[in-house]
Amino acid sequence: MIKSPLQIAREGYVPKMPKSLQGTVKIVEGDNTESVADQGKIKEMFPNTYGMPVITFEPGDSHGVSKVFNVGVILSGGQAPGGHNVIYGLFDGLKKLNPENKLYGFLGGPGGLVDNQYIEITVDMVAHYRNTGGFDIIGSGRTKLEKAEQFDKGLENCKKLNISALVIIGGDDSNTNAAVLAEYYAQKGAGIQVIGVPKTIDGDLKNEVIEASFGFDTAVKVYSELIGNIQRDANSAKKYWHFIKLMGRSASHICLECALQTQPNIAIISEEVEAKKLTLDDVVTYIADIVAKRAANGENFGTVLVPEGLVEFIPAMKKLIAELNDILAGNEEDISKFESNKEKRQFVAGKLSPESSEVFRSLPSSFANQLMLDRDPHGNVQVSMIETEKLLIDMVKAKLKKMKKEGKFKGKFSGQPHFFGYEGRCASPSNFDADYCYSLGNTASVLINEGKTGYMASVRNLTSPADEWIAGGVPVTMMMNMEKRHGEMKPVIQKALVELDGEPFRKFVEKRDEWALNTMYVYPGPIQYFGPSIVCDNTTKTLEFEQLK
C-alpha cells in the first residue's frame, strides 16, 4: 500500500475515548422504551426486541477475561469518514475482552453476508487503515436484507465461521435492516446477535441518545472548505453567482451546517420550504430578489447553497414524486417497453392525478426525465442525479430577464453550478470523527460481550472532552415508525429533519438577511489534524448550538 506523509503520520494518532471504555465496563439499564410512533404495529412486528431499555456504560471493577466469540462486521450503504475507525475500535475492543476473539469482515456490504464473501481482519490489516477515510478495507454495498432466504443464508454462513454476532455499520435504512435481522434471529433462537452503528454524512440519523451520525463532522468540514474557496473566488472575480448543491436527500443538516460555517448569501433549507408550502417559483423569486438587491449595490456575485433533496420538500413536487414512486414501482414492465423518454413521460403523465400531471408537464423535459430515473434499493428517488442547481440557475435567469424588462433589475447574472457530494464521503476523518468512531467500535464490542441484540451503539455528550463522553446502547426499535416504501407500509427508522424551532436553525435565521446583502464570507480552510485543540478537536456548529447549556 502506497501511503502519503499525512497517512503515515495519522497512523500514529491514538483516538481518545470515554473513561467508561478505557477499562472494564459496568452496564446500567434505564427505563424500557417504545417506538417514536405506531407503537402497536412496531411492537407487533418486533415482539422479541421491542421495549428494551437504553443502556449506559460506567467504569467497572471486574478484571476477568470474557468468553471467546467470533464477530462479523458489515459496511452498508454510502461511504462516510470514520468507518475504518469503527472497525479499528471494534477489533481492539474484541481483543481487549479476549485475545482469542476473531473479527471477520463481509466483503462488499450486506451482499457479502449472503454470498459468504469474507476475510479475517488481522492486526496488520487494521494498522494500515487506522484513522483513514473510505470503506476500502472490506468495501460496502447497498444490498437490502429483507427476505427470509437472505437471513437464512446469512445464518448458515455465520455458523460456518462460528460467528455469534454481527455488527452492521450503516444509515437509517441499513440499521432498519439490522433491527429486522436481529428480530428474525431472536425469533428463531439462532444465537446470532445484531448490533448497529450510526453512519451517514447526511446527519439525519439522530435523536436524544444518538447525538450525531459519524462522518457528518468530516464531510461538512470538507464541503465548507470548498465553499469558502469558491466564495473567496467569487469575491475576487466579482462576476459569478455560484449555485452549490450539497448532499442531504431527506434533510438539510449539511446545508444548514455549511451555511453556519461559511455565511453564504443564500441557503435554502428544505424543511422551511415545506413548512411554508412554498412553490418552486417562490424559491426562484426569493433568490432572484436577493440577486437584484446585491446588483443594486454593484455586487453581481454571490453564493447559493441548495440541499440535494430540495425538490422532495416542495409540496407540489413532493406529491408528484410520491405518485411517480408508485407508478414506477407498479408499471416497471410497461415503462421499460418504451424506447424514448418522451413516450415514457406521456405514459406516466397519463397515470398521474390531474394536479401532479400539470406540474409534471410544466417541467423542462430534461428535469422530468431525471425524476423518472430508477429508484435506489430502498425505493427512494436518486436526488443526487437531479440537477436542481442547474434548474434554479435557468429559472432565476429567466426571472431576472423578466424583472429587467420591468425595470426591477439592472445588473448582470451569470450562474455557475456545483455539486459537492463524493468529495466529502471518503475524506480522512477529522479528529472528532476518528475519536467518535473508535469509541463506537469499542462500544459495539461491549454490547456484544453483554449479550445484547437489536441495539445501536451510542456515544453522547459529544461537545465535552472525549473522556467525558457517555457510551452505551439504544434499542433500534425506539427510533422506528411506519412509512410507505415501494408502495407498501414498512417499519423504518424515523429520519431526523432540521428542526425549525431548534437552536441551529434559529441562529441561521438571525443572520441570513445580513449575509444576503453584505459580503460576509468565512473561509474555514482545510481540516486540521495537528495543533491546538481549538482548531483540531472542534465539533460542528450544529452540535454546539443543539447542546447550548
Listed range (34-48, 155-169, 287-301, 309-323) with the worst mean pLDDT: 309-323
- Given a cut of 80, is residue 447 above it in pLDDT? yes
Three cell numbers, residue 401: 430577464
CATH code where residue 249 lies? 3.40.50.460
- pLDDT attached to residue 362: 85
Tell me the per-residue pLDDT of 72-101, one tens digit each, with 9 for 90 and over: 999 999 999 999 999 999 999 999 999 999
Banded pLDDT at 396 (limits 50, 70, 90):
very high
Q: What is the pLDDT of residues 1-26, one digit of tens each?
A: 788 999 899 999 999 999 999 999 99
337/475 same-domain check: no
Same domain membership, residue 446 and residue 417? no
The H or E element containing residue 122 is none
Q: Where are the alpha helices (DSSP H) in 189-314?
A: 216-237, 253-262, 270-275, 280-296
Say whether 318 sits in a helix, a strand or coil. helix
In whole angstroms, give the CA distance from residue 96 to residue 98: 5
In a domain, 547, yes or no: no
How many residues appear in the chain? 549
Are residues 155 and 253 both part of a single domain?
no
**548 in a structural domain:** no
The domain in which residue 319 lies consists of: 226-421+501-531
Higher pLDDT: 142 or 186? It is: 186
C-alpha cell at 439: 469509541
pLDDT over 90 (residue 164): yes
- 7 in a domain, yes or no? no
Give the number of C-alpha atoms closer than 13 A to the C-alpha of residue 461, restricted to the C-beta side. 15
- What pLDDT, on the 0 to 100 scale, is given for residue 383? 67
Same-domain status, 376 and 467: no
Report residue 376's pLDDT band, with 50, 70 and 90 as the boundaries. low
Same domain, 433 and 325: no
Task: Please report the pLDDT score of residue 61 as a whole number.
Answer: 79
pLDDT score, position 65: 73
pLDDT reported for residue 488: 84
The CATH number covering residue 448 comes to: 3.40.50.450
pLDDT tens per residue across span 462-516: 999 999 999 999 999 999 999 987 778 999 999 999 999 999 999 999 999 999 9
Same domain for 22 and 115?
A: yes
Q: What pTM did the predictor assign?
A: 0.93
**Domain count along the chain:** 2
**Is residue 549 one of the residues assigned to a domain?**
no
DSSP per position, 369-400: HHHTSPP-TTS---GGGS-HHHHHHHHHHHHH
Q: Are residues 364 and 409 in the same domain?
A: yes
Rounded-to-integer distance, Cα 157 and Cα 311, Å: 42
Type of residue numbered 434: A
Q: How confident is the model at residue 549 (pLDDT cuts 50, 70, 90)?
A: low
Asked if residue 436 and residue 414 are part of one domain, the reply reads no
Report percent pLDDT > 90 for the chain. 85
362 lies in some domain: yes
Cα 83 vs. chain centroid, distance in angstroms? Answer: 13
What pLDDT shows up at residue 104? 98
Shared domain check, 267 and 245: yes
> What is the pLDDT, as a whole number, of residue 367?
85
Task: Name the amino acid, one letter, at 120.
Answer: E
Flag whether pLDDT at 64 surpasses 80: no
pLDDT in tens, 184-203: 999 999 999 999 999 999 99
- What rounded mean pLDDT belongs to the chain? 94
Q: Which residue has the higher pLDDT, 308 or 330?
A: 308
Identify whether 133 is part of a domain.
yes
As given in the structure block, the three cell numbers for residue 455 are 441495539
Judge if 361 and 433 occupy the same domain.
no
Catalytic: which of 173, 202, 204, 433?
A: 202
Q: Where are the alpha helices (DSSP H) in 67-191?
A: 83-97, 110-115, 123-129, 148-160, 172-188
220 domain residue, yes or no: no
Active site annotation includes 202: yes
CB of 291 within 8 A of CB of 400?
A: yes
Q: Given this model, what pLDDT does residue 377 score? A: 63
Is there a single domain that holds both residue 413 and residue 281? yes
Nearest to 269 by CA among 310, 208, 214, 317: 310
Of 46, 112, 132, nearest in space to 427 by CA: 132
Tell me, yes or no, whether 11 lies in a domain.
Answer: no
Same domain (yes/no): 73, 168 = yes
Helices 216-237 and 253-262 pack at an angle, to 10 degrees, of 50
Work out whether strand 415-420 and strand 302-307 pair parallel, antiparallel, or are unpaired.
Answer: unpaired
